[in-house]
């Protein structure tokens, strides 16, 4: 797809008010670990395409945020 074919009509304009209230969110650093997963679970994650490790992290982060006060606090901000 060419840039001129992209429809931007439903995207709000980023004006000065947006930037006045915007905040930079830096995710915590990553740490390499070894984890054992069930074969079928790993096969399913890999079958979704590239980025299966990122998906594993996203799944774990969603669970973490749903079950901690830190996660609840970050959702309110």
Give per-residue pLDDT as tens, 10-26.
998 889 988 999 988 88
Provide the total of helices (H) and of strands (E) in the chain, helices listed first: 4, 0
40-61 mean pLDDT: 96
Residue count of the chain, please give it.
Answer: 77
The dihedral over CA atoms of 30, 35, 37, 39, expressed in degrees to the nearest 10, equals 100
The dihedrals phi and psi of 33, each to the nearest 5 degrees, come to: -135, 165
How sure is the predictor about 62, in pLDDT bands with cuts at 50, 70 and 90?
A: very high
Coil, helix or strand at residue 74: helix
Q: Which has the higher per-residue pLDDT, 17 or 73?
A: 17
State the chain's mean pLDDT as an integer: 88
Q: The pTM is what?
A: 0.56
């Amino acid at each position: 797809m060419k840039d001129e074919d992209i429809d931007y009509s439903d995207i709000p304009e980023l004006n000065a008010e947006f930037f006045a209230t915007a905040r930079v969110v830096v995710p915590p650093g990553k740490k390499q670990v070894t984890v054992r997963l069930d074969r079928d679970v790993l096969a399913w994650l890999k079958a979704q395409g590239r980025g299966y490790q990122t998906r594993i992290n996203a799944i774990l982060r969603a669970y973490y945020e749903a079950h901690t006060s830190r996660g609840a606090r970050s959702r309110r901000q």
